[in-house]
Amino acid sequence: MRQPIAGLFREVAELLKESNVPVLALSALALGFMRGPLDWMLPLLILEKGDPMLIGVIFALANADDTVMAFLGGPLADRYGRRPIIMLSTSFYVVGCLVLLVAVVSEGLVAIVLISLAAVLLYGVTGVSAGPYSALLAESVGSRSTGKAFAWLALCGRLARASGSLVLGFLLTANRDLGLLVMLGCASVGLLLHSQLKETLLLPRGWDSGASFTAHAKEFFAGVRCMLPLGLLALLGVIVLTGLGQGLTGNYYPPYLGEQLGLDEAQIGLLYSIMMVLQAVALPFAGSFVDRYGHVAGLVLGNVIPGGLILYFALAQSRVLALAAMLAAAVLGAWGGVALPVAVAKLTSLGTRATIFGVSESVFNLTFVVGPLAGGGLYARNPTFPFILGSVALLSTILLARRLSAGVRPPRR
């Protein structure tokens, strides 16, 4: 037991020696802490100031904006650099927190408009950094540490969001203005930290930084055509199938657990808490696995096997075995979550990496629009249908896995 734990600490020590990793880790903690209460605080503010229907409208607008900004952020970062786009995104967190401070003391239509603006800033416009952030992280570490870097940074963000939701929840209840000021302070710290990032985009010869955006777009698509044999289309296919698999099922576990398996709210809450803890514990091991055995093996472990487990969850007669299958699928999903960005990093080149990361994020976001809508119709017909179709989508990723290994080999140990 001591050896694996000691190995994890050695991994952290080695990662912290890499360029930009300490700054990214600290900023993940600061911004994660700030974002912790947003998922439940914004809906409550909307209800306080307006109609329940506004929750769906405002968040749909924010999610649509997030998809568009993720698509645009990649090409901008491949032209102007990763650091300025990341800083621009973080500045929107600062402005969003300022808008929230004004919104809570406003009334009527002004309050609704300000909360809507804050939601778009905090959830939507900040998506411009999705591609640049992933590209900068991948370019800041060695190829043997890409998986570990994504895993540990994700772990930092999850732990910070969990603690932020708890601590700021108490603070916002006791003194809302003080809680919002702490959130503003965390966002400002994140912006200050991102100003210390080192740029990783070293423009190759022939990539004219003064050329028009159209010229850069032409060069980008020429690069994409060259990368298609290396599995880029297969990668986008895996992203679509993964997003649909998760989108079809994710929102329908709670009602299924209550209606079909007879769990009450307290039991469902406990189950989700256990699941999140197990996922967090699994992340470092997932990163090491992907770095050692490659992103294809990570996708098989994180997509294909969970697909089979979700199918078993839907068809199992035993409640205990169904819950065990759900937990196992969720934990193994950590491997898929690490393997996907590693695959993007290894299948792209410097001049197009942020763009492909941004496109991947946009495509993934779109599946979470289609998936829940389709899942709702399927669940109304038969509660098992979303899980059966979602499992088929995840299982189907194995058909594209071989293409993802074309031109890329996992490092030898």
For residue 257, the domain's CATH number is: 1.20.1250.20
Q: Computed from CA positions of residues 322, 328, 332, 334, in that sequence, does the dihedral angle turn out positive or negative?
A: positive
In-domain check, residue 384: yes
Domain identity same for 17 and 123: yes
In-domain check, residue 170: yes
Domain identity same for 158 and 274: no
Q: What rounded mean pLDDT belongs to the chain?
A: 83
% the chain with pLDDT above 70: 87
Domain identity same for 195 and 234: no
In-domain check, residue 213: no
In-domain check, residue 157: yes
More confident residue, 228 or 296: 296
What's the distance, CA 125 to chain centroid?
A: 15
* Number of Cβ atoms within 10 Å of the Cβ of 388: 17
Domain identity same for 181 and 319: no
Domain identity same for 194 and 314: no
Per-residue confidence band for 241, with pLDDT thresholds at 50, 70 and 90: very high
Domain identity same for 194 and 232: no
pLDDT over 70 at 309, yes or no = yes
- Select from 200, 232, 267 the last residue of a domain: 200
In-domain check, residue 411: no
Question: Angle at CA 342, nearest 5°, toward 308 and 3?
Answer: 80
% the chain with pLDDT above 90: 31
- Select from 145, 172, 200 the last residue of a domain: 200
- pLDDT tens, 69-100? 888 888 888 888 899 999 999 999 999 999 99
Domain identity same for 48 and 185: yes
- pLDDT tens, 381-407? 999 999 999 999 999 999 887 776 654
Q: Count of domains in the chain?
A: 2
pLDDT over 50 at 205, yes or no = no
For residue 391, the enclosing domain spans 220-404
pLDDT over 70 at 208, yes or no = no
What are the C-alpha distances in Å from 30 to residues 33, 222, 351?
5, 39, 30
* Burial group, residue 48, by CB count within 10 angstroms (0-12, 13-18, 19+): exposed
Cα–Cα dist 242/359, whole Å: 15
pLDDT at 34: 92
* Burial group, residue 13, by CB count within 10 angstroms (0-12, 13-18, 19+): exposed
pTM greater than the 0.85 cutoff = no
Cα–Cα dist 314/309, whole Å: 9
Cα–Cα dist 75/135, whole Å: 12
Structure-token pair, residue 186: 């965390």
Q: Can you tell me the mean pLDDT for 309-324?
A: 94
In-domain check, residue 58: yes
Domain identity same for 183 and 332: no
pLDDT at 13: 76
In-domain check, residue 205: no
Domain identity same for 182 and 227: no
Domain identity same for 153 and 260: no
Cα–Cα dist 185/93, whole Å: 10
Domain identity same for 192 and 308: no
In-domain check, residue 206: no
Domain identity same for 153 and 14: yes
